[in-house]
Structure 1
Amino acid sequence: MRAPIGTFEDAAPAAERLDLLPAPVVAALTAGWGEFTAEQLVHVDSDPAVADTAVFAEHHGVELLDTSANCVVVAGKRGQDVTLAACVVLSRTRVDVNGAVRKHLGARKASFAPMDTAVGESRMEYGGITPIGLPAAWPLL
């Protein structure tokens, strides 16, 4: 199987790789994430060392900057309340954390969530957080 974008040596339907996926991703795919199933999605094994956008594009093909997206976790704060959200943005785009995201969350301050928070709350690996399987309470922007 070939990945729809980039040059990956190892690609297969996600349904054949459930043992490699984080538990919340498996649960979401098994239940049918939106209208997508594990049979419809392609899994490519990614090395955390190449998860940074620029390194990822250089390693797998620069054209990915035009066709791929990143999922980042943001923490919005209002007083003592913290709201976590996931933002999916095209690789060539910056997340407007202190503008659009902060306003959408109704927060006074917003920033990228600390790595330990993003990993702990999502139960996914840093550099491999996907919108599939995120906590239901998180807005997906």
Structure 2
Amino acid sequence: MHAPIGNFDSAEPAPDALDELTRPVADAVRHWRGSVPADQIVYVDTEPEWADTATFVEHYGRELLEQSANCVVVTGKRGGGTTLAACVVLSTTRVDVNGVVRRHLGARKASFAPMDTATGET
């Protein structure tokens, strides 16, 4: 299988790569009810050191800048409570964590969630 965009070394249908996915993502693929069949969701293996948007598009293909999105997980804190939010934005857009996201969460403080939290709790 070839990824529909980008220059990835390998790509495969997400249902065939469940062992490579975090538990919540694998569960979402297993129980997929979207308008596109699950076997059309493509899994590509990427390296964490290429996760930064500029590095990602330089390595995997410049066309990805206009055709992809980023998902960042934000932690909002107010009093003793914590709220997590997944923010999906076009790769050409910055997430306004301390403005828009913080206000939307009703938080006094907002920051990017640690990687363990982002992959384990969302």
TM over 0.5: yes
Unmatched 5+ residue regions in structure 1?
123-133, 135-141
Distance between the aligned counterparts of 1:33 and 1:101, measured in 2? Answer: 28
Measure how far apart 1:10 and its partner are: 0.6
SS in 2 for 1:17: helix
Distance between the aligned counterparts of 2:27 and 2:33, measured in 1? Answer: 9
Counterpart residue number, 1:79: 79
Q: Over residues 12-61 of structure 1, what are the superposed CA-to-partner deviations in whole Å (9 max), with x where a residue is unaligned?
A: 11122122222221111111154455312011111112122111100011
Residue type matched to 1:2 in 2?
A: H
List aligned pairs for 1:8-87, cutoff 5 A.
8-32=8-32, 34-87=34-87
Q: RMSD of the TM alignment (CA)?
A: 1.7
Q: List 4+ stretches of structure 1 deviating above 3 A.
A: 33-37
Residue type matched to 2:84 in 1?
A: L
Pick which of 35-44 and 72-81 moved more.
35-44
Distance between the aligned counterparts of 1:23 and 1:116, measured in 2? Answer: 13
Distance between the aligned counterparts of 1:69 and 1:21, measured in 2? Answer: 18
Where relative contact order (Cα < 8 A, 6+ residues apart) is larger, the structure is: 1
> Which of the pair is proportionally richer in helix?
2
Residue type matched to 1:75 in 2?
A: T
Measure how far apart 1:115 and its partner are: 3.0
Counterpart residue number, 1:108: 108
| Identity over aligned pairs, percent | 63
Residue type matched to 2:76 in 1?
A: G
SS in 2 for 1:39: helix
Contact 1:30 1:37 (C-alpha < 8 Å) held by counterparts? no
How many residue pairs get aligned? The number is 122
Measure how far apart 1:80 and its partner are: 1.3
Measure how far apart 1:96 and its partner are: 0.9
